Each structure stands twice: as C-alpha cells, then as structure tokens.
Amino acid sequence: MLIEHLPSFMADIDEFKKLFNVEEKIFGELYNAFKKYENNLWIETADDEGIKRREKFLGIDKPYGTLEDRRKVVLSEWSGVLPFNYYTLDKWLSSYLEKYNYTIEISFDEYKLYVLLSLSVKEHETYIKNALRKKIPANMIIEIGIDYNRYRDFKKFTYGQIKDSGITLGEMRESVISL
C-alpha cells in the first residue's frame, strides 16, 4: 500500500488515508493495464487480444483451436525459419507438436516427404500440411498420414474389456486408446 511509505505521523491523517485509497485503485488499474500490455509483448504470454493482433498481422484468416493451439500456430509462423534439412524440420515440428507425436521420412530419390502424425494430434493435420507447403521446397511431394490404431494396439486388452468399454469398431480405429 502507498500509505506505508509515509512517515507514521502523516499516515494517521484522514485526508492522506482517503487520498491514498483513491490512488491505490488508480495505480492498481494502471498496474493491471501495464501487465496486460507487457504480457502481450510476447507470444508465449499473450492473451486472446494479443494473439488476434498477431494472427491479423500474419494473415491467419481462420484461427481455430484453444488459445494455446493458436499460440503455437502464431509462434510457428512467426519463427519463419525454413526447414531445408531434416534437423530444422524436426526442430520446427517438435516445437509445434511435441516430440514423439510424429515421425518423418524423407525419400531423396523420389523427392518425397512423409510425415506420420500420431492419433492424438490428428486435428493439426491441415495446418501442418499448409505450413509445410510454405516451408518445403516446391519440387518435393508432401504426404501427411495419421497413425491410426491397429489390431496389435488392442492385443493387450481382453474381449470383455473392449466390450465393457462400449467402444465401437470405428472408435477403435480413430480414438486414442484409454480403456
């Protein structure tokens, strides 16, 4: 509180108490506005308003997902380092999707890039494909695949466990396993 900075004989005066109560509110609002502005200076701490401003600047017309998803898209676009090799491509993908949510295969003879996304990040498939089209040389073919569940993924469960979970055949293929 501001009144604590006054000498004790002045802090007991009613006029100063009232004055500092009003100033506390004003400085509190000013501090909150400053913190909001400061947080919006960086993508990692920006709120919805800060991310919208950057999306508009980068030309992202249709943002989707949570605020955290949108932050990752903006950060990915903002970084703009073109992955001309496997290492930078892997670094870019891991910053957006986190490691172990994808695998990369490059066929240099066929000029083909194949990215296999895990089932838990399949909603990012369209963004990844569009972003890679901008970052990968134009003469390379890009294929994006989803690592769907297979029979072997369900071998550890009994028929009774699968039946009791109520999971359908379609859900078995396209859902993250959580029996």
Confidence of residue 82 (pLDDT cuts 50, 70, 90): low
Residue 5: pLDDT band (50, 70, 90) is confident
- The pLDDT of residue 92 is 83
Q: Is the pLDDT of residue 36 over 90?
A: yes
According to DSSP, the β-strands at 102-107 and 112-118 are antiparallel
pLDDT tens digits, one per residue of 124-173 = 888 889 888 888 888 889 999 888 777 667 777 877 887 787 777 777 76
Kindly report whether the global pTM for this prediction surpasses the value 0.85: no
CA 17 to CA 22: how far, in whole Å? 9
Q: How confident is the model at residue 33 (pLDDT cuts 50, 70, 90)?
A: very high
CA–CA distance, 119 with 103 (Å, rounded to integer): 12
Instruction: Write out pLDDT tens, residues 83-118.
Output: 568 888 888 888 888 778 898 999 989 999 999 998
